[in-house]
Amino acid sequence: MNQTSVSHRKYVHRLPSKVSRTEEALIVTSYDYFLQKYDLALLLKRYKEVILIPNSSNDDYLLNHTVRPLLDKFEKIHLVTNPQYDKRNRVIYEFVVRKNKSIRITTVYDFCEKYLKKVYIPENISETNPNLSDLPTFGKRVRYPKKIIDLTISVVLFFTTIPLWILSYFRIKMQSPGPVFYRQERVGINNVPFDCIKFRSMGIDAEINGASFSKKNDSRTFSYGSFMRLSRIDELPQIINIFRKDLSLIGPRPERQVFTESFEEIIPYYNVRHNIKPGITGYAQVMYSYGAGVYDARHKLMYDLYYIKNWSLFLELKIILLTAVVIFGKRGR
């Protein structure tokens, strides 16, 4: 990534494409955090260069000495703006028009949904996304087909995986003393808690020092436990939660209350994910690599809210297919 510096401070991030067939450049103003590696790879197939301009107090110097030279390179500009900070956007627009360039302007809210298939979540808890002012609820049109999919796949999955249940029972007993199943309270629809059931993949003293996020290659897991987490076999007992109507097959990942309470204080719209049933798998789980903490929770929420806002039967089936790819590719956590 090339970076243009002003007074030895890094401002503009430039990512030239080696595969794009277009001559259009993408300029993102007031850039904060919303792009991940997958997004950048996608954009670099579409644009000749991606230029990220982070928020800065030194607008005039930044624009005149860094942005103006960049505009000379391209005839077509796609400008992505954040209306929360519009001073810089107007100045860039004037630059482009003055140079007789072709320009199209998209807000960051519309850009994320149209091109990245996720919803933009502001970095600051006090900011809003106007596209989320009226999120739809899952009415009968959504609930009924989801119920049919949940029950059909769960019944088939249960009977076809009985050998794995038996194998897991004996392997867990052989490798780690304690119960085979692990019950943990998670937050469900409308913030109602429920007991989430899994095959136990860690020692019984894994949280002797208090609640903590599980990690990739977590040292607290035993040998077969690591394999179960990688292949997601440990999630199979959650089929029982579907039969109990605690879970859906597809939905936001159910989290522990100790984490959701802290996330709701600092991540805008985080509580919206509790408007629907959580799921064994979900859009965020197949689109975002495993992670823990506020940064990852914010990225995952962008996919969860896109799923809620744009639910369709096609999207539901797509997530099921992508989940199969994750499982057979052993890209679990």
**pLDDT tens-digit profile, the chain (333 residues):** 555 444 334 567 889 999 998 889 998 988 888 999 999 999 999 999 999 988 766 666 666 666 777 777 788 889 898 888 756 666 667 777 777 778 888 999 999 999 999 999 998 888 999 999 887 778 888 999 999 999 999 999 999 999 999 999 999 999 988 899 999 999 999 999 999 999 988 876 655 555 555 555 566 778 888 888 888 899 999 999 999 999 999 999 999 999 999 999 999 999 999 999 999 999 999 998 776 788 999 999 999 999 999 999 999 999 999 998 887 765 555
Domain boundary at 50, 83, 116, which? 116
In a domain, 62, yes or no: yes
Residue 66: predicted pLDDT: 66
In a domain, 131, yes or no: no
In a domain, 134, yes or no: no
The domain total for the chain is 2
Q: Are residues 101 and 146 in the same domain?
A: no
Q: Are residues 162 and 295 in the same domain?
A: yes
In a domain, 29, yes or no: yes
Q: Are residues 100 and 166 in the same domain?
A: no
- Give the whole-angstrom CA distance, residue 2 versus residue 261: 39
Residue 6: predicted pLDDT: 40
Residue 62: predicted pLDDT: 61
Residue 118: predicted pLDDT: 97
Summarize the chain as % helix, strand, coil (round to 5): 50, 20, 35
40 and 71 in contact (C-beta within 8 Å)?
Answer: no
In a domain, 121, yes or no: no
Specify the CATH number for the domain of residue 103.
3.40.50
Residue labelled with tokens 């928020």: 55
Phi, psi of 281 (to 5 degrees): -130, 175
In a domain, 103, yes or no: yes
Q: Are residues 177 and 307 in the same domain?
A: yes
Q: Are residues 201 and 304 in the same domain?
A: yes
In a domain, 321, yes or no: yes
Range of the domain at 31: 2-116
Q: How far is CA 324 from CA 251, 281, 327, in A?
A: 16, 10, 5
In a domain, 127, yes or no: no
Residues with Cβ < 8 Å from 28, sequence gap 6 or more? 35, 50, 51, 52, 53, 80, 108
Residue 8: predicted pLDDT: 38
Half-sphere exposure (Cβ direction) of 325: Cα atoms closer than 13 Å: 9
- Give the whole-angstrom CA distance, residue 186 versus residue 33: 28
- Cα 126 from chain centroid (whole Å): 21
- Give the whole-angstrom CA distance, residue 67 versus residue 53: 9
